[in-house]
Amino acid sequence: MRYQIAAATVALAAIGLVAVNAPTAQTSSTSSQSLRVVQEFDSIADETQRSVALFGEMAKVITHPRCMNCHPRDDTPRQGMAMVKHVPPVVRYDESGFGAPGMRCTTCHGATNVALVGVGGIQSIPGHEPWHLAPKSMGWIGLTVPEICAQLKDPGRNGDRTLADIHEHMAEDGLVGWGWEPGEGREPAPGTQAGFGELTQAWIDTGAHCPE
């Protein structure tokens, strides 16, 4: 049992964990950013400009490490606020993003977060059912906000999702929601999932325009 916990300390220094020798993130009860509510954009008379501004607010969540760490453009998940490569090395393996045989995501990540006390500086192991990477076609790391926006709307790269599907994913998906409940030792995504969903719907309602 002691060996398994020690192994998990290393193997589960995964997406969002406070890794040994890495800067300590804020706890899950705080965030470095907040989200503006939809009504704060009503003063922008031009609908296209309002849509662009709404996506800019959404980008606070999309570009936060809680999201970006799960959306690499290569085959390696990232971890922590510094978005360093997963330790130990793991790979996407296939488009499902659940990892290679013998080193599946579920080898270490369970259905819920697990708190740890005094184990190598790591305060908790992230968990959710399911736990996996986003498809490679939806990799965001290294892209600009306009590029992410264009990719998000492209059915050829977003899993053939409609704008309604995108809203459902943003507003209701449990793995997305984990970003606001990431466990001890991790900074949550800005705002709330409900607020993020409202911004997403307002962006869609105003034409789903992207920044240039």
> How does pLDDT run across 102-133, given as a tens digit for each residue?
888 988 899 999 998 766 678 888 999 999 99
> How does pLDDT run across 13-59, given as a tens digit for each residue?
433 443 333 333 333 334 557 999 999 999 999 999 999 999 999 99
Q: Is residue 40 part of a domain?
A: yes
Taken in order 133, 135, 138, 141, the sign of the CA dihedral is positive
Helix (H) or strand (E) holding 10: helix 2-11
Q: Is residue 212 part of a domain?
A: no
d(CA 79, CA 99): 15
Closest CA to 183 of 89, 115, 84, 109: 115
**SS3 of residue 207 by DSSP:** coil
Q: Is residue 152 part of a domain?
A: yes
Q: How many domains does the chain have?
A: 1
Q: Is residue 183 part of a domain?
A: yes
Domain that holds residue 105: 2-205
> How does pLDDT run across 180-202, given as a tens digit for each residue?
999 999 999 999 999 999 999 99
Q: Is residue 210 part of a domain?
A: no
